[in-house]
A = this chain, B = another copy of it.
Amino acid sequence: MNEDTSIKEKINVGINVSLVLNKFKNALSKLERVVGSRSTLPILNNILIKVHKGGVELLATDLEVGIKFNLGGKVEKEGSITIPGRTLINLVDNLYGDTIQLSSKNNILTLISGDSKANINGMPADEFPVIPEVEVGKKVTLDTQVFKSMLSQVEFSASSEESRPILTGVYMISGNGSLTLVATDSYRLSETVIKNGLGEEFNVVIPVKTLQEVRRMADEDASFELVVGENQVMFVFKDAKLVSRIIEGDYPNYKQIIPSKSSTIAELDVQEFIDNLKTAHIFSVEGSHSVKLNVKPEGLVEITSESSQLGNFSAKLKAEVKGEGGEISFNARYLLDGLNSFETPRCTLGIESRSNPGVLKPSNVDGRVYIVMPLKQ
């Protein structure tokens, strides 16, 4: 069997294009989490390959997020085909060589790279859903590093429960030269603000999952563009576009739950605080995750926790305390989530009473606040 001649003969219908293998690999890896594996709509398990004059488009969607890559390539024949995404991704991930040739006939995609050849059973392209681009909208350019950093400061506070969909997103507010990101599950809230000098005014609630994909997509670009349309947002990267639904509805008026002042403020070492909360959590993990903080004006914060079954724990942490001090209980996990998002060596904890929310802030950083609701003692 002489593969080379027989392959060339076959390619008389369908697509035919050669492209750089590494670019193809990279694009497929970015599509991985959007491609379904057991979708009830089988076409969503597929990747659409569209060959046009300028090169190759790769598309995947889960109907909430759609991603479209645009890769260059040496085009012999235009056309399109859809292919089971997992199979394609796993296959191409293990191939090597400089270029890969894609050709198709009768809905079978043939991939040739080096001395390897695979045929994958595909489906006609016309069943694949359209991923509509956002043509009209407000546009801002975002710095990738800044955006990734802001996102990791808030995303963990979003809710994972679908009962209040609006809380499963990140609230993004642009205007007056600043950009604000907020997330809350109603038990705790993260807000981060930067001055970016952009005048474009909009506010929009974007699903956390979308933003996590944006983080992955943005990896190689220094900046990217966000276009906020009527019902959708679009993120524009060098080689790709990501289109996502917006979460409909009014975001809660979160500003009103951020305490305007705290009568007691303690400044602590972040890592020491984290370590001792983790230890305290061992004894509260079975119940409410409750740990008690006792802020003492003489300059310490005592952390205690107790389990009737396991035992109890107490630790004294040095702190700079302003105010009268006081005792308050929190869910240890929520405190830890907030502290783990701080990049500073020290932080402040503000408390007002047993029933008012606690306020955590990284020391000497503007624009960051983390609010935690107290637990009843």
Which residue numbers of A lie inside 8 Å of B, CB to CB? 3, 84, 87, 90-91, 94-96, 108-109, 115-121, 275-276, 278-279, 282-283, 309-317
Interchain CB contact under 8 A, B276 and A315: no
**Smallest Cβ distance from A332 to chain B, in angstroms?**
12
* 5 A-B pairs with least C-beta separation: A116-B315, A120-B311, A94-B279, A115-B316, A118-B313
Picked from B117, B311, B312, the residue with its CB within 8 Å of the CB of A313 is: B117
Interchain CB contact under 8 A, B94 and A311: no
**Smallest Cβ distance from A82 to chain B, in angstroms?**
14
* Chain B residues within an 8 Å CB radius of A94: 275-276, 278-279, 282
**CA gap between A115 and B315 in the complex, in Å:** 6
**Smallest Cβ distance from A15 to chain B, in angstroms?**
16
Picked from B3, B279, B309, B314, the residue with its CB within 8 Å of the CB of A91 is: B279
* Chain B residues within an 8 Å CB radius of A3: 314
**CA gap between A121 and B286 in the complex, in Å:** 15
Interchain CB contact under 8 A, B309 and A96: no
Interchain CB contact under 8 A, A121 and B87: no
Interchain CB contact under 8 A, A282 and B90: yes
A-B CB contact pairs (8 Å), 7 listed: A91-B279, A91-B313, A94-B275, A116-B279, A117-B314, A119-B311, A119-B312
**CA gap between A96 and B91 in the complex, in Å:** 48
Which of the listed residues A94, A96, A317 has the most CB atoms from chain B within 10 Å of its own CB? A94
Picked from B90, B108, B276, the residue with its CB within 8 Å of the CB of A116 is: B276
* Chain B residues within an 8 Å CB radius of A91: 279, 282, 313
* Chain B residues within an 8 Å CB radius of A115: 315-317
The residue on B at minimum CB distance from A87 is B310
Interchain CB contact under 8 A, B309 and A121: yes
Q: Given the known inter-chain contacts A116-B276, A275-B94, A275-B96, please indicate yes or no for A282 contacting B87, CB distance below 8 A.
A: yes
**Smallest Cβ distance from A205 to chain B, in angstroms?**
37
**Smallest Cβ distance from A164 to chain B, in angstroms?**
33
**CA gap between A279 and B310 in the complex, in Å:** 51
* Chain B residues within an 8 Å CB radius of A95: 279
* Chain B residues within an 8 Å CB radius of A312: 118-119
The residue on B at minimum CB distance from A86 is B282
Interchain CB contact under 8 A, B310 and A117: no
* Chain B residues within an 8 Å CB radius of A119: 311-313
**Smallest Cβ distance from A302 to chain B, in angstroms?**
9
**CA gap between A115 and B316 in the complex, in Å:** 6
Interchain CB contact under 8 A, B278 and A108: no
**CA gap between A278 and B276 in the complex, in Å:** 46
Interchain CB contact under 8 A, A84 and B310: yes
**Smallest Cβ distance from A113 to chain B, in angstroms?**
9
